[in-house]
Structure 1
Amino acid sequence: MQEIETDLLVIGAGSAGLSVAAGAVQMGASVTLLEGHKMGGDCLNYGCVPSKALIASGKAAHAQAHASQYGIADVTPQVDYAATKDHIAGVIGHIEPNDSVERFEGLGVRVIREFGKFISPRKVEAGDHVITARRVILATGSSPLVPPIPGLDQVPYETNETIFQLREKPGHLLVIGGGPIGMEMAQAHRRLGSDVTVIEGASLLGQDDPETAQVIRDRFAAEGIAIEEGATAAEIRGTAGAIEVEAGDGRVFTGTHLLIAVGRRANTDSLNLDAAGIETTRRGIKVNASMRTTNRRVYAIGDVAGGMQFTHVANYHAGLIIRQALLGLPAKERTDHVPWCTYTQPELAQVGLTEKAARATHGGNLEVVRFAYAENDRAIAERKTEGLIKVMVVRGRPVGASIAGEQAGELIGFWAFVLANRLKMKHVAGMVAPYPTLGEINKRVAGAYFSPRLFDSLIIRNMVGFVQRWLP
């Protein structure tokens, strides 16, 4: 066994682990990085990057089929499904060098291509290496949750880890799970020519605002995607090309391919956490607000910490670790300013409290203001008028924003900034947005907040009358 001593041991080379490793080594720490699978983790290889590339292919096909509204003839797109996978591979290949062993070794990180497991509270074994570290960062991510549905182990199925390698276009894709992954894959495949049925045990996009989620539901119906809510999968049967999903209420759905998209599970099984005195919860590794585990020398960040499972959260956690483990400064996680987005078309984005959560928290002090895409000139010009923004406001301060519409993921970043800095609606109203842009929607919803205060106020009317009579 080779003995290694290091300032920082990072286990997992996904978004969280790579961010910590790159930052720490460039700030002067000795860093060892363990990765037994693929550099770049889920985001690069199975998640954010390939899914957005496939969505782009679907958008291109959909645009060809719906060009007449712009004065251009509709055409039936000629989809080469295998070529879309080549496109995805090309996108991954373009980004891959940023996450490569060569880049990180060039920065000064010792990279060991092995899985790691604890053999004591301070020692980790990886292949023929035993590593002792001042601090250990667990960033092992998550994997698709495969539920114990009777019969599932007897039929072929896809997850986000396998569907991007599929070369033959599904004739009819059955998607179990109406969350972000399921919805994104459902629409992309429909636009590429597959029939699609989404099977959801509760309601679609259940973590989002129902009013904005309805915009997505309506678009899916218009595109011919079958939506089956309240349909808990009770049994799965069949063979490749002929798969049946039977719901608990007796409904039966038939398709050629099956995608399981019901959630994620933290990757903790191979870490031997008991040897390090690290406790877990149902969702992942138990951490405090500083992302420290029950072993004070060990932190857990990203998906494995059991909180919000997004790449941008993983990167945010990495910053918290850099601040604490390298600079010795206090840092605690907050989530009220963390946005999320589902990249369907239209997109669906959220930051802070939904209307339901805000009403439960703030009661009668809550005001909800809305502005429709249909009143935005850029949206009208581009015929992207589906959707709305709604902002939850308490005593002049936004506590949440929900957006459904074109580029909602871009627009929500503005509200994440507002919430992060605890700004008020008066600050939003003071912004000047370029015309014509979708960004004006953010400005106009602030106008919707102040309009009744200005135009329906007797005090304001009397003041204006007084000024008009007496101002020289």
Structure 2
Amino acid sequence: MTETLTPDVCVVGAGSAGLVVAAGAAQLGLDVVLIERALMGGDCLNHGCVPSKALLAAARLADMQRRGAAFGVAPIEPHVDFAKVMDHVAATIAAIAPNDSVERFEGLGVRVLIEEARFIGRTELQAGPHRIRSRRIVLATGSRPAVPPIPGLSGLPYLTNETLFANRILPGHLIVIGGGPIGLEMAQAHRRLGARVTVLEAADFLPKDDPELAAIVVARLRAEGIDLRAPARIARAERTPAGLALVLEDGERFEGTHLLVAAGRTPSLNGLGLEKAGIAFTKRGITVDRRLRTSNRNVWAIGDCNGLYAFTHMAGYEASLFIRGALFRAPAHLDASIAPWATYTDPELAQVGLSEKAAREKHGDSVHVLRWRLAENDRAQAERETDGLVKVITTRRGRILGATIAAPHAGELIQPWCLAIGKRLGISALASFVPPYPTLGEASKRAAGSAFTEALFGPRTRRLVRLLARLPVW
């Protein structure tokens, strides 16, 4: 029997974006239906952010055992039980999963349907035996791994982020297709855990990041023994007795035991029946306006499915815009200038706002570039973590346009710059705050302070101070 539901809000997708909307709307007293065809928590909890950071944490511990000599601690080659490492990954997911569970959301008053949803009208969905009519439908269906059309690839047992964390055998030689954040994070993790690793990238490594700082990360990965190849055009993939092989257009051949495809993401739109709802979309995602509303005024698209930002934190931000705009009817527009991102290699690489290249394209030669190297930071010296840089882009008048950091914990260090850009603070705000000593965060203050070095210690100021020094003490 078909059951008809008429909630105030219907959410399709129980990943980061959908869960924020469902929880927020339910706690505001609205009737909410949440539809998920697979796992609660979506990609981030089950296949992305959470398991990858758990794996990176294990890899960092293994690497620390090798690096003791500089501190007077005898280094050892760690014994890695890869199956137990993956037990740690699974335990991390399990510890967080209750926050995203059906039980928790039903406890909030959300009607959760584990079904596949498709549009049957402009404001009507079918999900299994349920027909849902709603004036506010939120699509939060996320994204899936993009698989490049390499001849022979479909016949190989390759891994993606959706299957990688189920693997319990340490690769003898892991070949990674893709030199973006996912590819490089997993390359470093597996290398530190004992695998031989090769990364093949068709263009540039970390292409969305400032190349000056991306080069710091790439140099570290190479120093750790990862074979990084770019540009590397793959002509075909082949099965071998020991696993697989990738052959480049120039004839160079790479043989490995495992293959990870990390060549980007594509929005998950299949089966939704968007045409029946009059929702415009392209291969990049569902088309939305600044309020994240689609071409159907009753439907919003948030998170990865709109193709704007494939980041969990931006999915949450977009969900908050829906709540403020659609439910409270308050002004709520997407602000691209405040979007940060981080790559959790070691060192980490984090950015917010405009890169130097983007700033120069937009503002010409009127931009100022401020730099402070981690080698000049006392805490970095004490911990022998001196490969890094804080780079800040401002206007001549001191408005902060962007910041990029390559350093340990760069994802944490970028946060004051996120606040500064979001609140439209000038560079003086970052130059005048007082951080505790010794911390890596001092590097941000020193970078900001360098904006005033010439004015403060230049000839005119020196003459003024000499003049003032002749006056009576007061």
Structures share fold, TM-score greater than 0.5: yes
Structure 1 CA distance for aligned equivalents of residues 94 and 328 of structure 2 = 35
Q: What is the CA-CA distance between 1:241 and the residue it aligns to?
A: 3.3
- The match for 1:418 is 420
**One-letter code aligned to 1:96:** A
- The match for 2:260 is 259
Unaligned runs of 5+ in 1: none
**One-letter code aligned to 1:434:** P
Structure 1 CA distance for aligned equivalents of residues 317 and 106 of structure 2 = 23
- The match for 1:133 is 134
Contact 1:237–1:245 (8 Å) recurs in 2: yes
Structure 2 CA distance for aligned equivalents of residues 378 and 200 of structure 1 = 34
- The match for 2:226 is 225
Q: What is the CA-CA distance between 1:433 and the residue it aligns to?
A: 0.5
- The match for 2:183 is 182
Structure 1 CA distance for aligned equivalents of residues 268 and 235 of structure 2 = 26
Structure 2 CA distance for aligned equivalents of residues 152 and 48 of structure 1 = 26
Contact 1:391–1:402 (8 Å) recurs in 2: yes
Task: Tell me, yes or no, if structure 1 residue 66 matches structure 2 residue 84.
Answer: no
Structure 1 CA distance for aligned equivalents of residues 365 and 37 of structure 2 = 53
Contact 1:378–1:437 (8 Å) recurs in 2: yes
Task: Tell me, yes or no, if structure 1 residue 401 matches structure 2 residue 389.
Answer: no
- The match for 1:437 is 439
- The match for 2:15 is 14
Structure 2 CA distance for aligned equivalents of residues 24 and 18 of structure 1 = 10
- The match for 1:339 is 340
Contact 1:155–1:240 (8 Å) recurs in 2: no
- The match for 1:317 is 318
**One-letter code aligned to 1:397:** R
- The match for 1:77 is 78
- The match for 1:196 is 197
Query: Which digits, 9 at most, give the CA deviation of each residue in 1:325-372, with x for residues without a partner?
Result: 211112110111111000000001111111111111111111101001
Distance 1:53 1:240, change over 3 A: farther
Task: Tell me, yes or no, if structure 1 residue 353 matches structure 2 residue 354.
Answer: yes
Partner secondary structure for residue 57 of structure 1: helix
| Matching of residues 26-425 of structure 1 within 5 Å | 26-239=27-240, 241-394=242-395, 395-425=397-427
Q: What is the CA-CA distance between 1:107 and the residue it aligns to?
A: 0.4
Structure 1 CA distance for aligned equivalents of residues 75 and 226 of structure 2 = 20
**One-letter code aligned to 1:111:** V
Contact 2:428–2:449 (8 Å) recurs in 1: no
**One-letter code aligned to 1:6:** P
Query: Which digits, 9 at most, give the CA deviation of each residue in 1:18-64, with x for residues without a partner?
Result: 00000110011110000010000000000000000000010010001
**One-letter code aligned to 1:425:** I
Structure 1 CA distance for aligned equivalents of residues 120 and 241 of structure 2 = 43
Structure 1 CA distance for aligned equivalents of residues 306 and 254 of structure 2 = 36
Q: What is the CA-CA distance between 1:250 and the residue it aligns to?
A: 2.3
Contact 1:240–1:256 (8 Å) recurs in 2: no
Contact 2:388–2:407 (8 Å) recurs in 1: yes
Structure 2 CA distance for aligned equivalents of residues 37 and 226 of structure 1 = 36
**One-letter code aligned to 1:15:** S
Q: What is the CA-CA distance between 1:428 and the residue it aligns to?
A: 1.0
Structure 2 CA distance for aligned equivalents of residues 105 and 325 of structure 1 = 23
Q: What is the CA-CA distance between 1:240 and the residue it aligns to?
A: 6.7
- The match for 1:446 is 448
Contact 1:23–1:322 (8 Å) recurs in 2: yes
Structure 1 CA distance for aligned equivalents of residues 410 and 269 of structure 2 = 34
RMSD of aligned C-alpha atoms? 0.9
Contact 1:352–1:400 (8 Å) recurs in 2: yes
Structure 2 CA distance for aligned equivalents of residues 69 and 461 of structure 1 = 43
Query: Which digits, 9 at most, give the CA deviation of each residue in 1:186-222, with x for residues without a partner?
Result: 0000000000000000111111111101111110111
Structure 1 CA distance for aligned equivalents of residues 67 and 119 of structure 2 = 56
Q: What is the CA-CA distance between 1:301 and the residue it aligns to?
A: 0.1
Partner secondary structure for residue 414 of structure 2: helix
Structure 2 CA distance for aligned equivalents of residues 402 and 329 of structure 1 = 32
Structure 1 CA distance for aligned equivalents of residues 163 and 446 of structure 2 = 43
Contact 1:156–1:239 (8 Å) recurs in 2: no
**One-letter code aligned to 1:90:** A
Contact 1:178–1:200 (8 Å) recurs in 2: yes
Distance 1:343 1:240, change over 3 A: farther
**One-letter code aligned to 2:26:** V
Q: What is the CA-CA distance between 1:126 and the residue it aligns to?
A: 0.2
**One-letter code aligned to 2:456:** L
Q: What is the CA-CA distance between 1:65 and the residue it aligns to?
A: 1.1
**One-letter code aligned to 1:442:** S
Structure 1 CA distance for aligned equivalents of residues 64 and 442 of structure 2 = 25
Contact 1:179–1:205 (8 Å) recurs in 2: yes
Contact 2:160–2:260 (8 Å) recurs in 1: yes
Contact 2:11–2:22 (8 Å) recurs in 1: yes
Partner secondary structure for residue 470 of structure 2: helix
Q: What is the CA-CA distance between 1:113 and the residue it aligns to?
A: 0.7
Q: Could you tell which deviates more after superposition, 321-330 or 365-374?
A: 321-330
Partner secondary structure for residue 7 of structure 2: strand
Contact 1:173–1:259 (8 Å) recurs in 2: yes
Contact 1:141–1:302 (8 Å) recurs in 2: yes
Contact 2:399–2:427 (8 Å) recurs in 1: yes
Structure 2 CA distance for aligned equivalents of residues 86 and 256 of structure 1 = 22
| TM-score under structure 1 length normalisation | 0.99
Structure 2 CA distance for aligned equivalents of residues 146 and 203 of structure 1 = 18
Contact 1:240–1:257 (8 Å) recurs in 2: no
